[in-house]
Structure 1
Amino acid sequence: MTTQKTLFLAWQDPESRSWFPIGRLTFDGARYKFVYTQGVKEAQQMCSFSPLSSFPHLEQVYTSTHLFPVFSNRLMSRSRPDYANFLQWLNISEHEVDPLAILARSGGQRETDSLAVFPCPEPNVAGQYQLHFFAHGLRHLPESAIERINHLEPEDKLWLAHEFQNPHDSLALTLHTENHYIVGYCPRYLRSEVFELLRQDPTSVDLRVERVNLPPTPFQFRLLCRITTLCNQNFRPFSGEEYQPLIKEDFATASLISPA
């Protein structure tokens, strides 16, 4: 039996730099499905978001037997000479062929647009949720912080801190070491869930170094982190209103998209 896999699509407003979850991609083993989520309403109201050219109609379910180009174009070509190094940066097997697994770990971000993807985690046998992400904002850190990152080891513990007085982002969540070196920032599109976890029980959140990729690895892939939490029965990650489909899929018109 194939377990359905889910990725969310986030959009960043280029002016305010705010992130909004706008879509959900699922794969049942045979067919990919994309729908816009309720988060698109806030993106429209606050930042005049327009539908993506690949998915022009908000109230429609898009299906395909192939991964949609807006996602597949975020995958590095396996023919590139640095592809093996890329998989090492992600800390996944060189034999991994599942495009959703690669997108979930890499985030699928490109410098040419304002989209990112992240997975919907499922609980393991111990009832824990795990999520991997690359630390953001490294290019804004001093050289001493970058040097500290270079000396981190897998499984080193990190802490989260709320930068109330950050003049650019009052909701910024820093990642810092035991000796208080700031080594990056939590991605903005994950913060609402992390804040909720911290509000419920700060001790339930465990943040660790998964892998450090030394220079000349690009900053966006330099520090891979892993956050683990044991959620209570009333909390499921990314289950809020903004992550729910914009329309009821059972009654929606489906659009079959052929591969580009």
Structure 2
Amino acid sequence: MSRLLDRPSTAETLPQDKSLLVSWQNPETRTYVLLGRAVEHVDGTYTFQYFPGVEKNPNFRAIPGFREVTRTYESTVLFPFFSGRIMSHRRPDRDEWLHKLGLASNAAPFEILARSFGKRVADTYEMFAEPEVDLAADSLRFLVPVHGLKYQSAEARELVDYGRLKEGAILRVVAESNNSADVRAQAVFAETGDQLGYVPAPVLDYVEILGQSGSFAARVTAVNPSSDGLHLRVLMRLEWKAQTPED
């Protein structure tokens, strides 16, 4: 059996460290780019580093405040780019906001960003927690939104709007190699056969860096209210399993 030994690397990390993957959607081409990794280290310090070679992507743009692509940024406080995406402690509705995210009032910054995906109206950056690695099963587990629901059928959106898509429901993930926008595309279907959208492209970027073939499986983790926007309506627990010689 092949072994999933290494995550895509930037700076050195420890098992106790918390990591966020940072992506950006080019508003002109609508293409997503996996940019780099932010780490909250066990000693309370923070680092950010781009993935090697990301600047060669024609859709790449440097993040404001992180202009030097080969530098490892270090700080004793959370970088403003990230802290500005977390509701202030002074806001009276902060606890309500955290509750909607399924978090306690004392949730740590990286916990919050991993559940809110760092979304802001002002830009097109998106963050998600680095996947859990199961070495015994050669698999990765992501918590991510289903992308592209707004482009799907009225029937698919009704599944979500009228509560017919339930937490825990199995989702079918199908490779769409004839997709003209991205031959790596992985379409996501409900058990009814209605397409809900796609696996986020930054997940495909992450898996591609591993240099191994594999397949996806998924379940619904949460169906969010319409006030969260179509982009974050359906969250899924996505598992990628590396292909083995026996497969």
Aligned mate of 2:198, from 185, 210, 214: 185
Which residue is 2:146 aligned to?
Answer: 135
Residue 91 of structure 2 corresponds to residue 97 of structure 1 = no
Give the deviation of 1:126 after TM superposition.
6.5
Contact 1:162–1:173 (8 Å) recurs in 2:
yes
- Per-residue CA deviation, residues 65-98 of structure 1 (Å, 9 max, x unaligned), is 11101111122334545544543443x3323521
- 1:31 aligned to 2:45? yes
Instruction: Report if the CA contact (8 A) 2:177-2:184 is conserved.
Output: yes
Letter paired with 2:185: A
Distance 1:125 1:194, change over 3 A: closer
The match for 1:40 is 54
Cα pair 1:103 1:118 within 8 Å, conserved: yes
Q: Quick check: 1:110 aligned with 2:120?
A: yes
Measured after TM superposition, the shift of residue 176 of structure 1 is: 0.3
Query: In the aligned structure 2, how far is the partner of 1:52 from the partner of 1:65?
Result: 19
Aligned pairs for 1:222-237 within 5 A? 222-229=233-240, 231=242
Residues 209 and 7 of structure 1, relative CA distance in 2, 3 Å threshold? same
Percent identical among aligned pairs is 31
What are the equivalent positions in structure 2 for 1:200-211 lying under 5 Å apart?
200-202=213-215, 205-211=216-222
Q: In the alignment, is the contact (CA less than 8 A) between 1:20 and 1:42 conserved in 2?
A: no
For structure 1, the residue ranges without an aligned partner over 5 or more in a row are: 234-260
Q: Aligned residue for 1:17?
A: 30
**Cα deviation, residue 181, structure 1:** 0.5
1:179 counterpart SS class:
coil
Query: Does residue 160 of structure 1 match 2:160?
Result: no
Please tell me whether the aligned partners of residues 20 and 39 of structure 1 are also in contact (alpha carbons under 8 angstroms).
Answer: no
Q: 1:23 to 1:125 in 2, by over 3 A?
A: closer
> Normalized against structure 1, the TM-score is what?
0.73
Gaps of 5+ in 2: 1-13
Q: In structure 2, do the counterparts of structure 1 residues 81 and 186 end up closer, same or farther at CA, with 3 Å as the change threshold?
A: farther
Structure having the larger proportion of residues in helix: 1
Mapped pair 1:54 → 2:68: no
Are the equivalent residues in 1 in contact too, given 2:82–2:118 (CA < 8 A)? yes
Which has the higher relative contact order, 1 or 2, with Cα contacts under 8 A spaced 6 or more apart?
Answer: 1
Task: Tell me which residue corresponds to 1:172.
Answer: 185
SS at match of 2:133: coil
Cα distance in 2, alignment partners of residues 78 and 212 from structure 1: 26
Quote the Cα distance in structure 2 between the aligned partners of 1:191 and 1:88.
30
- SS of residue paired to 2:132: coil
Is the contact between residue 89 and residue 221 of structure 1 (CA under 8 Å) also seen in structure 2?
no
> 1:244-259 to 2 correspondence within 5 Å?
none
Contact 1:36/1:58, CA 8 A, preserved across alignment: yes
What is the rounded CA distance, in whole Å, between the counterparts of 1:221 and 1:180 in structure 2?
Answer: 21
How much is the aligned-residue C-alpha RMSD, in angstroms?
A: 3.1
Distance 1:71 1:207, change over 3 A: same
8 Å Cα contact 1:24-1:34 kept in structure 2: yes
Aligned length: 227
**Contact 2:20/2:127 (8 A) holds in 1:** yes
Secondary structure of 1:148's counterpart equals helix
CA gap 1:231/1:83 in 2 versus in 1, 3 angstroms: farther
Q: Distance in 2 between matches of 1:173 and 1:2?
A: 30
- Stretches of 4+ aligned residues off by more than 6 angstroms: none
Task: Note the alpha carbon deviations across 1:74-128, whole angstroms, 9 max, x for none.
Answer: 22334545544543443x3323521112212222122322322222223369755
Q: Distance in 1 between matches of 2:94 and 2:85?
A: 13
Deviation at 1:223, TM superposition (A): 0.8
